Structure 1
Amino acid sequence: MLTIEGSASLNLVKEQLDESLSIAESNLEQFVEEPDNDGRLKTAIEQFAQIKGVFRLINLPGASMLSEELELLGHKILARTSDSNNEKLLAGISNAIMVLMHYLEYVEVKKQALPVLLVPTINEIRFFLSKPLVTESIFFDLGENPERPPKEQAAEADIEQLLQIGRRLRHMYQVGLLGILRNESVSANAKLMSRALVRIDNLSGTKPLSKLWWLTLAVLEAVGNDLVQLNVARKSLLGMVDRQIKLVVTMGESALNKEPSKATVQECVYIASLAGPNGEYLKQVADLFKLDTGGLTDQNLRHEIEILRGPGGSVIRSVAQALAEELNHIKDSLDLGARGASGDQESFEATADSMRKVANTLVMLSLSKAAGIFKEKSDVVRNWSSDDIDPESDEFNKVADALLYVENSIATLSPRRGPDSSIASNTAEDAINDGISVTQLDDARTVVVGEARAGLSLAKRAITSFMDSSWDGMHLNNVPTTLKSVWGGLVFLQLHRAAAVVSACESFIDKKLIKDGSLTPTYQLMETLADAVSSIDYYLEGMEDNKPIGDGILEVAEESMRELGFPVAA
């Protein structure tokens, strides 16, 4: 059975989820105005219960957990509708709905579901519910929990020595911890804590709790080298280790014989995974737990959180649309001025003012490079006059290039989630070097996808006619040529995997159904072929609607061709 999870399946139900969240938000607002009308609150709770099930179905665990907490908080408010403290709780629900809407846009655009992004909001709701807060590693899959690597010198535990100097070593650890809690000299204090732990670890021998000292050394390595940022959860983890040292100092061997909890191990390994194998202990942890985060670092994660907190995709799209319209007016004005149709000084000054206005908006969207270029060129345009303007001059062409650069920068706003200036600049610069417009290129891609789908429709109709006419090969004569044109379009779109399937379909029809008369077609055989063609069509339909269905559908097409004896090379 094919399972399409996460971002791919979200595209199929996002409109319904957005509608459910909007209904919940609207009813919540009306409940705030009419606290006696608990029917509004009940409707919102029903929507939370409904979307919780959908999120579970499409495998978005973070969104599912947040929806469940919102449902519980709604019931808590419902049970005490006359309580004046409900105002804070209702504000928390309202904020969580906004975060959830942003998160769905994030998953849809980024094509990745990072449930850890929702942990702060989940904890905010759990605080209102008086429930224990979840750790940031809750969605991290630890996998197996093996024993720590053997020590270079497998010495026995020296309990007597540990009890003698344990208090001093704990004090050394606490001094460093105090500095870290105050965010003072983090690197130096992390080294001090590590020194104390190394001594404790050496005296602990191979006792089960020594695994905690080893994992904590990896965490301190990450903190000391500024590979991860200190937050409340990570400071709390280091504080918990201090309490474990205290237990060892007071209880001795019995405390050392206890295994660290799986939750603690998971938290340490999660931090190590965000730091990467950039140190002695971090590398040991990465090797033992076979860590592979796909390049996700703590810095990347903080950046993604900032994106999630930014303006919603609908706001960004509205701003991008308004800027695009303003750019069109500027281009029209410059075109008229270049042809002398409206080349007075006031016209050029008005155009320059419009350019500066666009530049100021770009600054607010963190597109500072595009803004700087446009401001510079606005001063050039302001000095133009109808007498000396030359549309063939190098100066005029540079203004046109600046317009194209800004247009491409604005075009990158809509498909991405939030103002990521680095992506915008790179895309714009690549396009400017090629002398093309991103908007026009997107339009061209849309046309090619449409033509490819039209070709597949012709092929499907021909296959249906072939089956209905008791295998009259005349209906298939033009299909190979049609599929070759579809293949060319997919190659142009750089959809090489889909193109390979279409090429295999073309080869099967040409060699087995047209040229090789020995093959007796069956309905099952033709249905398998139709599965492959239809799968490619569904794949392109998702692109056409800007709701990609994911590569899972391509696996269906490849399996179909493998069954027909025309396997697609990986």
Structure 2
Amino acid sequence: MAGASSLNLVREELESTIQQAENSLEQFIEERDQGAHLQACVDCIKQVRGTLSLIEMSAGELLAEEMFELATDIPEGAGNDRDDALGVLSNSLFVLSRYLEYLQQSREEIPELLLPTVNELRRTRRAPLLPESFFYSIRAPLPEGGEIGDLVASEETGRRLRLMYQVGLLGLFKEENTQSSLKLMERALQRLYSLMEPGKGARLLQVASAALEVMVDAEMGTYTERKLLFGKVDRLIRMLVMGDTAASFDKTLVKELLYLVVLGDTQGELAREVKKEFNLLPLPFNDHTLAEERSIMAGPGNEVFRSLSAALKEELSSLKDMLDLVERGSNVDFEEMSALVGRLPKTLGMVGLVSASKALQANQEAVASWGAAGKVEDRQQLMALADAILYVESMVASLEQPRAGKDLKAVETDQATIMANNQLFEARIVVIDETQAGLAMLKRAITAFTESDWDQMHLANVDVTLDGLRGGLFFIDEERASNAVAACQRYLKEKVLGKPGAPSQGDLETLADALTGLDFYLQGLNGGKYEGDDVLKLAESAVKELGFPV
């Protein structure tokens, strides 16, 4: 690109000017009544903008333009109400400097890297945000406007499918069971698409389904802009279900969805179909590489705590291995064990796991005595250390969870309670995992049944499997889910098993909706944070439509 290839000619000047802008801005932040400092910053930004325009670095020029607009909007003597604006401006100068370093190393301009910073500046100025696809061009004509077509389905079916989509959308907005939420939304859109008359609306649902497929397959990030994008799709679904003949949509919605398809860079069936239909050009990056590069420029991301948790777990695993050797009577380096028990509490304390740190500290003296004696003289001390390690493992697991609203430094919970809750939670996970495995086997059996020209042999173990599912859910006090499984079991026994010929395709689709709802609910149970009432309503609505209410 022209911008990247020409950067060497002006890089030193750009870096010097950006540094001058940062220094002037810092001086103004400290001395708000000195407007000359702010004006010097504005002049530097203006010079940077002109230089970037000269070398045709469009993304950098856009960022400089947004910085110029924000800087000129800040008055001399700005009060505390402008602190956020000054902070955003300072961060933008830092990002621009890091972006120039990135270009110097990679020799490839990726304007999308600067888009979040550009939008942060625009958000501060209360200007409309730029879409993710701002720098991407699609030459094929995009559907838009009215005459979107009709939904050929009963009102009850339409409402149920919209509920399925909304349940997934709610999980997406809450960032709970994200992958399962996206799968639920994808399932709903595919069903709606199959029930649509040909037209603009059907094409939009096709593109949205492909975007969700890619979001799942590529495990793409669920940023606010993407959540709002799928919220717009929900509003269109509402109009379709209500039969609103005046419903319409803008082509920018389609472009954003198509951009997600390209950005995910997957080879799913829907993605391939949409890429071919709209002749979508590939990108030199995907969602994950883009996020990684942004993380490099912006500093540590959310992965820091997961990495720290993995490192702590590795050391805890080493400590557990040593205890296992002691239990078996094998030789152990007690000095190494003592050093490990002495080192871990410091790390735990630094990340706020104070109670876990204290639990290990309480065993340091005992471990040191083992080293002096060359053996474990008191078996109770060994058991106490084992309990402490289990407790620490329970606390370290919290590092992998969202930290919003939590103050880990203040956590001082009873050790026995934490361990008991963690063991109970792990036992519950085992039951749920087994239930999910049974549900997956059931789905495969039904799929094989439909693909083998209705060969009942594939359903031989379905009744036993459903009994296991129902019993497992009842065992962990999930009575409503257990009842929904029982309703699916009654439908199969009375309408499918042992009955010649093919069952109604519509009934099988509705059964699949019920199983999808149950699968999503189980995913929520495994995460331990989603109540799932709406998901259960979805499953209950589906089995009711089959004629087996719960």
Normalization by structure 2: what TM-score? 0.51
CA distance in 1, matches of 2:203, 2:22: 47
Show the 5 A alignment for 1:178-217. Answer: 178-217=170-209
Structure 1 residues 510-543: Cα deviation after superposition (integer angstroms, max 9, x where no partner):
xxxxxxxxxxxxxxxxxxxxxxxxxxxxxxxxxx
* CA gap 1:226/1:181 in 2 versus in 1, 3 angstroms: farther
CA contact (8 A) 1:274 1:298 kept: yes
Other structure's SS at 1:138 match: helix
> 1:54: how far off?
2.3
Q: Which amino acid aligns with 1:304?
A: E
Look up the match of 2:298.
309
CA contact (8 A) 1:162 1:204 kept: no
CA contact (8 A) 2:217 2:266 kept: no
Look up the match of 2:6.
9
CA distance in 2, matches of 1:88, 1:62: 23
Q: 1:128 aligns with which of 105, 124, 127?
A: 124
Show the 5 A alignment for 1:166-565. Answer: 166-255=158-247, 258=248, 260-310=249-299
CA distance in 1, matches of 2:154, 2:101: 54
Look up the match of 2:88.
92
Residues 1:77 and 2:66 are matched in the alignment = no
Look up the match of 1:564.
none
* CA gap 1:144/1:30 in 2 versus in 1, 3 angstroms: same
Q: 1:139 aligns with which of 114, 135, 139?
A: 135
Q: Which amino acid aligns with 1:211?
A: R
CA distance in 2, matches of 1:170, 1:283: 26
Q: 1:50 aligns with which of 47, 50, 64?
A: 47
Which structure 1 residue ranges, 5 or more long, are not aligned?
Answer: 149-155, 312-570
Structure 1 residues 63-94: Cα deviation after superposition (integer angstroms, max 9, x where no partner):
1111111111111112x634331222212211
CA distance in 1, matches of 2:105, 2:263: 23
* CA gap 1:157/1:25 in 2 versus in 1, 3 angstroms: closer
CA contact (8 A) 2:215 2:260 kept: no
CA contact (8 A) 2:161 2:192 kept: yes
CA contact (8 A) 2:138 2:255 kept: yes
Q: Which amino acid aligns with 1:271?
A: L
> 1:9: how far off?
1.0
Identical columns (%): 34
> 1:113: how far off?
1.1
CA distance in 1, matches of 2:290, 2:141: 25
- When the two chains are superposed, the root-mean-square deviation of aligned CA atoms in Å is 2.4
CA distance in 1, matches of 2:235, 2:229: 10
> 1:214: how far off?
0.9
CA distance in 1, matches of 2:262, 2:115: 18
CA distance in 2, matches of 1:193, 1:286: 20
Q: 1:108 aligns with which of 104, 114, 136?
A: 104
> 1:27: how far off?
1.3
> 1:310: how far off?
4.2
CA contact (8 A) 2:143 2:204 kept: no
CA distance in 1, matches of 2:217, 2:92: 34
Structure 1 residues 16-57: Cα deviation after superposition (integer angstroms, max 9, x where no partner):
111211121121122122211212211211222222222223
CA distance in 1, matches of 2:3, 2:280: 21
CA distance in 1, matches of 2:28, 2:47: 19
Residues 1:59 and 2:56 are matched in the alignment = yes
CA distance in 1, matches of 2:143, 2:238: 23
Q: Which amino acid aligns with 2:295?
A: E
Look up the match of 1:33.
30
CA contact (8 A) 1:191 1:224 kept: yes
- Return structure 1 stretches of 4+ with deviation > 6 angstroms: none
CA distance in 2, matches of 1:226, 1:172: 22
CA contact (8 A) 2:133 2:259 kept: yes
CA distance in 2, matches of 1:226, 1:248: 29
CA contact (8 A) 1:20 1:51 kept: yes
CA contact (8 A) 1:276 1:286 kept: no
CA contact (8 A) 2:66 2:121 kept: yes
> 1:248: how far off?
2.4
CA distance in 2, matches of 1:215, 1:287: 12
Other structure's SS at 2:140 match: coil
Give the length in aligned residue pairs.
297
CA distance in 2, matches of 1:182, 1:43: 44
Residues 1:118 and 2:114 are matched in the alignment = yes
Q: Which amino acid aligns with 1:303?
A: E
Structure 1 residues 234-256: Cα deviation after superposition (integer angstroms, max 9, x where no partner):
1221111111111223352331x
> 1:162: how far off?
5.8
CA distance in 2, matches of 1:82, 1:13: 33
CA distance in 1, matches of 2:165, 2:83: 43
Structure 1 residues 188-208: Cα deviation after superposition (integer angstroms, max 9, x where no partner):
332322222123223321221
CA contact (8 A) 1:162 1:249 kept: no
CA distance in 1, matches of 2:35, 2:154: 62
* CA gap 1:56/1:216 in 2 versus in 1, 3 angstroms: same
> 1:292: how far off?
3.6
CA distance in 1, matches of 2:78, 2:180: 53
